[in-house]
Amino acid sequence: MFTGIVTDIGRIRAIERRGDMRYEIETAYDTGSIALGASIACAGACLTVVEAAEQSFMVDASAETLAKTSLDVWQEGTRINLERALEVGDEIGGHLVSGHVDGTTEILDQSPSGDSIVMTFALDSWLAPYVAPKGSIALDGVSLTVNDVGDDRFDVNIIAHTQSETTFGKAMVGQKVNVEIDMLARYVRRALAYTGKSEGCA
């Protein structure tokens, strides 16, 4: 479990094609404190550490992960947001994030607003029921608040701190971004699907 508060910007150091795809990720984390099997959110995708070295760790990504996320476009040198898993007693500064990416979206536009950047993302039909103004959403592992929603797009505000502490400070129009739907929105949508259906009881 994560909070969407990024604690390091990692860099893809190497990619190895195996049965699964293996990524070596350079990090400022103390890799000596990362246990094998630990979960780390990498651009929002919860991945398992399979090996650790000095200033880097390795993760494997299955075909399903590659199909659902932006990992398929990662290259050597790609910068990614990192967050280590929550520990009991940690502050939840964003919102609860599972690291289970639902799909991807695309940056359509970005414009300055004071010290902030307003970023516009594509709102595809699969995502639209889960996005609401002032609701939470995780984009590339960053907990963000939705500003505005249109028929085919939604906006978020990237404040100066978020620009400096995450990859959104150098994000480009057309970039593919991982999306995780807010858990509450997911369950509300599921409940509404059963509205009007009768349930028998013994």
* Residue 98 included in any domain: no
Q: 110 and 77 share a domain?
A: no
Print the domain residue range for 60. Answer: 8-84
Question: In the prediction, which pLDDT does 88 show?
Answer: 74
SS3 label, residue 33: helix
Among 53, 43, 67, 62, CA closest to 168: 43
**Domain final position from 51, 84, 117:** 84
Residue 63 and residue 14 share a domain: yes
Confidence of residue 196 (pLDDT cuts 50, 70, 90): low
Whether 54 maps to a domain, the answer reads yes
Mean pLDDT score of the chain:
93
Let me know: does 44 contact 61? Beta carbons within 8 Å.
no
pTM beyond cutoff 0.85: yes
How many domains does the chain contain in total?
2
The residue among 54, 84, 114 that closes a domain is 84
Q: 3 lies in a domain? A: no
Domain assignment present for 122? yes
Structure tokens at 135: 């609701």
**Count of alpha carbons within 13 Å of 59, Cβ hemisphere only?**
26
Q: What is the average pLDDT across 124-138?
A: 95
pLDDT top residue among 138 and 91: 138
Q: What is the pLDDT of residue 185?
A: 83
Contact 49, 36 (CB under 8 A): yes
Per-residue confidence at 166, pLDDT binned at 50, 70, 90?
A: very high
- Does the pLDDT value for residue 199 go beyond 60? no
Domain match, 116 and 179 both: yes
Q: Does the residue 92 lie in any domain?
A: no
Identify whether residues 120 and 184 lie together within a single domain: yes
Domain check: are 77 and 135 in the same one?
no
Is 60 exceeded by the pLDDT of residue 198?
A: no
Count of alpha carbons within 13 angstroms of residue 115, beta-carbon side: 6
- Domain with 66 in it: what CATH number? 2.40.30.20
pLDDT at 200: 47
Is the pLDDT assigned to residue 202 strictly greater than 50?
A: no
Distance from C-alpha of 140 to C-alpha of 106, rounded to nearest angstrom: 11
pLDDT digits (tens, 9 = 90+) for 66-94: 999 999 999 999 999 999 998 777 777 88
**Mean pLDDT within 16-36:** 95
